[in-house]
């Protein structure tokens, strides 16, 4: 069980601040109707849950950030193992958060018969989008910090996906029933698969061997 | 050694030294801002719909420029404003993120001046956005079907929002020193906008004007003389918020003696914000009058034997309306009723998108009132055209209104379904008129649930034909056009008779009619 010995130190090295901050803000969003007593239609509740998921997913963009990364080049354990531990921890945390957010929405007064299966696929895709952005960004970041660029990039991609001129569009009201809902969510599932593959490739693909010459340093600036 | 220690103090103490240093810093930061990947990505996202329209040829050839300026604001707010907020936040936190805060403490330029430089660095980007918005509006204005002029205050909202959100990013960097702060703040802001939209539908109206952009809650264009959008006052309100946020950011980084300017800015913001709600009773009366009788703001023109009356600035649309009207008239051997007039109207004092409770009684009263006004103005049974134009669905909607008038001899005034051979004939005329109306009919058929519906939001009148009645007409449209037209002409008088059933339509033209559904699923038809 050599792999498991990696778990505690990796978890300790994760930056919890962004993940926890984004999750807390997301939970507040989902709990908005319950706290304010506002009665929302099912379609509006679905949109609120989507925005909450987007908010919480923003924190996942920081999951792969590791300021110590430049010093880990010499470690004999493959880098993808630590990344896998981080991704698994992030996804478990996000899944628990999602359950809490759904419970918070259902605590609101009024109708709450939401198509949870489809909404969960959307939430998973948004989480995978953040993780994929994080994996790609950290790969190209000089100092092991990709989150500051990955989080807004994931938001921009999410905005582009929602605005994409598709028929039916990717964002359909949560009270949509029947074939339209199914078509849209097959698409979301496909997007989820693409994003998972992107993340795995970005984490595992071998890096081009860098020759360190005398005097070369990491880029001092960064975003 | 003594010189080395005192030299920086001398530079800082020199009159204008801080100002020059802040300007130099602002220049460097502005250049970094402009070429930051997020700024570039936001600009690309902002222009992507234009590129898409250009590539696919789906752009609206008949833009209403005042509405186009408003429509730019939503994507401008989220893409450009959001990008500016994150970029400004990251730039203001750069020292913190690189663990260089302590080093920065040794710099001679005090933190408030550095914050001022971060704020000034936003202006060139806002300038680029302003140029982009202006270029877009000019490009739209050059289209032959462009209507009216954009409100400059509405066009200026996008760069103002970019500067405002950038300033919020700078302020946020003084409050929550984490790179996740700006993206989270952006999503939370989206929730606020969403709550404003939901509340705006049935809740208090002040939400709409308090948000950074005034969302268009009407959904259709109005003649300039009837618009009651407080765009100028809203821009002043935005500018006030911008000053408040900027002063708060400077004060937060340690500046003193800002209480008076801050209070003045808050007062200005509150005054401009409150001024947005000043109503204009005379304008309200004018809107009600023009909704009933559009003559005071209209211009009429005769093309061939059809007379068109449009609101003054909408006259560039007449030629395009005429193509659709000609298409319907070509396919019909006779026009029942008085000479054909197409008259543009708009339900200016109606509920718009905000909510529409269909009360059949008041609907009949409203549309009957319009018909009487048309008759009094000398245009009996005029076909109503709205202020939505440009899409295939709009063309199909006008074609349906003309076809209804051609077949029945009256302008549409009933709110119930059009059934029988008349309904089928109407569908065939719409599908046969022009390629555009045929595409619009296909689109309406795809969206049909029980009946094909042609509706115009600016009029809130509807022509609806049940699917079972439309089916034989859609089947006829798959036949060669000349053959179908000859058949229709041969039987025109019988087909246009309200007593003729849809089964008879199918028998005369040799197309199948679906069987009748069970009694409880049958649509309730007129007559």
Nearest one of B245, B378, B390, B355 to B309, comparing CA atoms:
B378
B60: Cα separation from own chain's centroid: 12
Residues B241 and B326 in one domain: no
Residues B263 and B297 in one domain: no
DSSP string covering A160-212: HHHHS--SS-S---TT--THHHHHHHHHHHHHHHHHHHHHHHHHHSPPPPPP-
Q: Which residue, B279, B308, B340, sits at the end of a domain?
A: B279
- All residues at 6 or more sequence positions from B276 whose CB lies less than 8 Å from its CB, including other chains: B209, B230, B233, B234, B237
pLDDT for residue A108: 84
Question: How many angstroms away from the CA of A220 is the closest CA of chain B?
Answer: 9
pLDDT for residue A21: 94
In a domain, B242, yes or no: yes
In a domain, B2, yes or no: no
Give B83's contacts in chain A (Cβ within 8 Å).
Answer: 152, 156
Q: State whether B198 and A44 contact (CB < 8 Å).
A: yes
Q: State whether B194 and A48 contact (CB < 8 Å).
A: yes
Domain that holds residue B107: 18-279
Report the DSSP pairing between strands B383-385 and B298-303.
unpaired
Q: Which residue, B231, B253, B279, sits at the end of a domain?
A: B279
In a domain, B175, yes or no: yes
Residues B275 and B298 in one domain: no
pLDDT for residue A113: 81
A183: contact with B, CB 8 A cutoff: no
With 50 as the cut, is the pLDDT of residue A169 above it? yes
Nearest one of B412, B380, B397, B385 to B317, comparing CA atoms:
B385
pLDDT band at A161 (very low <50, low <70, confident <90, very high): very high
Q: Which residue, B248, B279, B310, sits at the end of a domain?
A: B279
Residues B229 and B308 in one domain: no
In a domain, B288, yes or no: no
Residues B112 and B236 in one domain: yes
Residues B377 and B442 in one domain: yes
In a domain, B411, yes or no: yes
Q: How many residues does chain A have?
A: 223
Which neighbouring-strand residues pair with B307?
B302, B341
Centre a 10 Å sphere on the Cβ of residue B43 and count the other Cβ atoms it contains: 18
With 60 as the cut, is the pLDDT of residue A211 above it? no
Query: Could you tell me the sign of the dihedral formed by the alpha carbons of B514, B520, B526, B527, in that order?
Result: positive
Give B52's contacts in chain A (Cβ within 8 Å).
Answer: 165
In a domain, B412, yes or no: yes
* Number of domains into which chain B is organized: 2
Q: State whether B180 and A153 contact (CB < 8 Å).
A: no
Helix axes B502-509, B420-433, angle to 10 degrees: 50
pTM of the model: 0.89
A156: contact with B, CB 8 A cutoff: yes
Q: Where are the alpha helices (DSSP H) in B313-385?
A: 318-331, 360-376
Q: State whether A29 and B45 contact (CB < 8 Å).
A: no
3-state secondary structure of A32: helix
Which phi and psi (to 5°) does residue A217 adopt? -130, 165
Give B190's contacts in chain A (Cβ within 8 Å).
Answer: 51, 54
- Distance between CA atoms of residues A43 and A47, nearest Å: 6
pLDDT for residue A222: 43
- Distance between CA atoms of residues B396 and B283, nearest Å: 33
Residues B86 and B162 in one domain: yes
Of B41, B48, B191, nearest to A29 by CB-CB distance is B191
Residues B267 and B373 in one domain: no
Nearest one of B221, B223, B349 to B288, comparing CA atoms:
B349
The structure tokens listed for A99 are 């359950």
B120, B26 contact by CB (below 8 A) = yes
In a domain, B7, yes or no: no
Question: How many angstroms away from the CA of B201 is the closest CA of chain A?
Answer: 12
In a domain, B319, yes or no: yes
B160, B74 contact by CB (below 8 A) = no
Residues B300 and B201 in one domain: no
Question: How many angstroms away from the CA of B75 is the closest CA of chain A?
Answer: 9
Q: What radius of gyration do chain A's Cα atoms show? A: 19
With 50 as the cut, is the pLDDT of residue A223 above it? no
How do residues A90-113 score in pLDDT, each as one tens digit? 999 999 999 999 999 998 887 668
Q: State whether B45 and A159 contact (CB < 8 Å).
A: yes
B348: Cα separation from own chain's centroid: 16
Predicted complex ipTM:
0.90
DSSP string covering B206-264: HHHHHSSS----S-S---GGG----HHHHHHHHHHHHHHHHHHHHHHTT--S-HHHHHH
The structure tokens listed for B23 are 């300007």
Q: What is the DSSP letter of B16?
A: T
Residues B95 and B233 in one domain: yes
Residues B194 and B247 in one domain: yes
- Distance between CA atoms of residues B209 and B2, nearest Å: 60
Residues B270 and B298 in one domain: no
pLDDT for residue B412: 73
List per-residue pLDDT tens for chain B, 527 residues long. 455 445 444 444 555 889 999 999 999 999 999 999 999 999 999 999 999 999 988 888 899 999 999 999 999 999 999 999 999 999 999 988 888 888 888 888 899 999 999 999 999 999 999 999 999 999 999 998 999 999 999 999 999 999 999 999 999 999 998 999 999 999 999 999 988 887 766 556 677 778 899 887 777 899 988 888 889 999 999 999 999 999 999 999 988 889 999 999 999 999 999 988 887 889 888 988 898 889 889 999 999 889 999 999 999 999 999 999 999 999 888 888 888 999 999 988 776 544 455 566 777 788 888 888 998 988 988 999 999 998 999 999 999 999 999 998 888 766 678 888 999 999 999 999 999 999 999 999 988 888 899 988 788 778 889 999 999 999 999 999 899 999 999 999 999 988 899 999 999 998 988 888 777 777 777 54
Average pLDDT, chain A: 87
């Amino acid at each position: 069980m050599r792999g498991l010995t990696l778990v505690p130190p990796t978890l300790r090295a994760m930056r919890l601040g962004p993940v926890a901050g984004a999750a807390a803000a997301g939970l507040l969003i989902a709990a908005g109707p319950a706290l304010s007593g506002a009665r929302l239609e099912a379609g509006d509740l679905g949109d609120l849950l989507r925005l909450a998921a987007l908010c919480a997913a923003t924190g996942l963009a920081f999951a792969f950030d590791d300021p110590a990364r430049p010093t880990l080049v010499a470690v004999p354990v493959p880098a993808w193992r630590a990344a896998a531990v981080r991704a698994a921890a992030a996804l478990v945390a996000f899944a628990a958060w999602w359950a809490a957010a759904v419970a918070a929405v259902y605590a609101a007064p009024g109708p709450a018969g939401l198509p949870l299966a489809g909404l969960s696929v959307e939430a998973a895709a948004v989480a995978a989008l953040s993780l994929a952005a994080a994996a790609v960004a950290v790969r190209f970041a000089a100092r092991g910090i990709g989150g500051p660029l990955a989080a807004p990039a994931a938001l921009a991609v999410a905005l582009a996906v929602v605005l994409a001129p598709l028929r039916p569009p990717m964002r359909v009201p949560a009270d949509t029933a029947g074939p339209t809902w199914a078509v849209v969510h097959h698409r979301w599932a496909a997007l989820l698969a693409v994003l998972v593959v992107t993340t795995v490739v970005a984490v595992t693909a071998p890096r081009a061997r860098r020759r360190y010459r005398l005097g070369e340093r990491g880029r001092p600036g960064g975003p | 050694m003594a010189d080395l220690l005192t030299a920086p103090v001398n530079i800082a103490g020199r009159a204008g030294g801080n100002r020059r240093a802040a300007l130099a810093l602002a220049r460097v930061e502005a250049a970094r801002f402009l070429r930051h990947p997020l700024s570039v990505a936001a600009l690309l996202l902002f222009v992507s719909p234009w590129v898409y329209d250009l590539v696919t040829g789906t752009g609206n050839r008949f833009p209403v420029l005042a509405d186009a300026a408003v429509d730019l604001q939503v994507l401008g707010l989220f893409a450009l404003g959001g990008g500016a907020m994150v970029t400004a936040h990251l730039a203001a936190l750069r020292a913190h993120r690189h663990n260089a805060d302590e080093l920065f403490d040794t710099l001679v330029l005090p933190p408030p001046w550095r914050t001022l430089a971060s704020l000034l660095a936003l202006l060139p980007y806002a300038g680029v956005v302003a140029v982009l918005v202006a270029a877009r509006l000019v490009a739209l204005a050059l289209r032959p079907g462009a209507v009216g002029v954009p409100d400059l205050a509405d066009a200026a909202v996008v760069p103002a929002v970019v500067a405002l959100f950038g300033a919020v990013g700078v302020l946020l960097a003084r409050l929550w020193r984490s790179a996740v702060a700006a993206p989270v703040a952006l999503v939370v802001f989206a929730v606020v906008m969403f709550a404003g939209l939901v509340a705006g539908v049935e809740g208090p109206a002040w939400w709409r004007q308090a948000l950074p952009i005034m969302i268009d809650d009407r959904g259709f264009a109005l003649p300039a003389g009837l618009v009651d959008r407080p765009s100028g006052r809203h821009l002043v309100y935005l500018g006030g918020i911008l000053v408040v946020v900027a002063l708060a950011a400077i004060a937060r980084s340690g500046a003193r003696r800002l209480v008076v300017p801050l209070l003045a800015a808050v007062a200005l913001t509150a005054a401009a914000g409150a001024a947005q709600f000043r109503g204009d009773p005379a304008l309200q009366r004018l809107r009600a009058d023009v909704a009933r009788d559009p003559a005071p703001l209209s211009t009429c023109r005769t093309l061939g034997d059809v007379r068109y009356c449009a609101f003054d600035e909408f006259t560039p649309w007449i030629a395009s309306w005429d193509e659709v009207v000609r298409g319907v008239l070509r396919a019909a051997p006779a026009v029942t009723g008085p000479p054909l007039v197409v008259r543009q109207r708009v339900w200016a004092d109606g509920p718009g998108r905000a909510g529409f409770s269909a009360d059949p009684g008041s609907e009949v009263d409203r549309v009957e009132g319009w018909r009487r006004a048309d008759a009094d103005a000398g245009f009996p049974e005029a076909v109503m055209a709205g202020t939505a134009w440009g899409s295939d669905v709009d063309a199909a909607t006008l074609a349906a209104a003309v076809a209804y008038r051609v077949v029945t001899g009256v302008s549409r005034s009933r709110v119930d379904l059009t059934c029988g051979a008349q309904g089928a004939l109407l569908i065939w005329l719409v599908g046969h008129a022009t390629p555009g109306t045929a595409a619009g009919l296909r689109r309406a058929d795809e969206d049909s649930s029980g009946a094909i519906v042609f509706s115009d939001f600016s009029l809130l009148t509807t022509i609806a034909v049940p699917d079972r009645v439309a089916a034989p007409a859609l089947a006829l449209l798959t036949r060669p056009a000349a053959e179908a037209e000859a058949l229709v002409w041969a039987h025109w008088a019988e087909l246009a008779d309200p007593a003729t059933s849809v089964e008879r339509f199918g028998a005369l033209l040799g197309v199948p009619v679906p069987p009748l559904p069970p009694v409880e699923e049958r649509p309730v038809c007129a007559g």
